Amino acid sequence: MEPLTEPYFNAAREIENMFTSTGNGFCFGLCPYRWCPMPQEGFSSMHRNDPERCLRYGIAIEDSNDHDKVVGIIKLRHTNTSWIQSLMYRVQEKEVYIELIVVLPEKRGKGIGTQMLQWAESEAKEIYQANQLALVVTKGNPAKRLYERFGFDTRPRSAFFLLVCAVGRPNGRFGADWMVKKLKTKA
């Protein structure tokens, strides 16, 4: 696991676009996600111009015979930097929100998701001094079992989940669970 760097921008963008385009969800209830793929230059300039954004974006890399391959991505958020982000999920004080976690389908079940969650926990504690990790998992997502094994607990729903139910973000499944893991912090 490592933070996103420029040589991996395109591979990370492709995985993110693959994830959002495979479902039936709607971007803010307006258009299907598959209609709005992130173009390469837009993704690259967004990350190139904001080095902090790259530090919050982790990539899992598999060493293959002749090159490294990005096999998973994870995006963290520790602040509410825009009204759009706050609409989707309002990060609490001392919390890091896992905005997105994706493992390539052919690499699932091989421990990559666990490695990404370990990286997120380490980053949350060491860089942001957070005492809690949070994420939202849509109903029916088999990854919920991974989150539970990693120590996440399901919490009561809030108004946010009305939005998830309305738009089925991002995979078209309506409804979601808010999950939280309390972190042990250094005294």
Q: What angle do CA 47, 51, 56 make, to 5 degrees?
A: 80
Specify the pLDDT at position 158. 56
| Residue 12 pLDDT exceeds 50 | yes
Query: Inter-axis angle of helices 9-21 and 40-48, to 10 degrees?
Result: 120
Q: What is the C-alpha separation between 60 and 67, in angstroms, rounded?
A: 14
Q: What angle do CA 109, 98, 7 make, to 5 degrees?
A: 75
The two tokens of residue 163 are 């939005």
Closest to 157 in 3D by CA, of 136, 129, 183, 140: 136
Question: pTM for the complete prediction?
Answer: 0.80
| Residue 162 pLDDT exceeds 60 | no
pLDDT in tens, 31-86: 555 666 677 777 777 777 776 766 688 999 998 776 789 999 998 988 766 555 55
The two tokens of residue 76 are 């963290």
Specify the pLDDT at position 20. 72
Q: Identify the residue with better confidence: 179 or 160.
A: 179
Specify the pLDDT at position 165. 47
Q: Identify the residue with better confidence: 24 or 57.
A: 57
What is each CA distance from 168 to 25, 93, 110, 165, in whole angstroms? 5, 27, 28, 5
pLDDT in tens, 84-141: 555 566 778 899 999 889 999 999 999 999 999 999 999 999 988 999 999 888 778 8
Q: Identify the residue with better confidence: 32 or 171.
A: 32
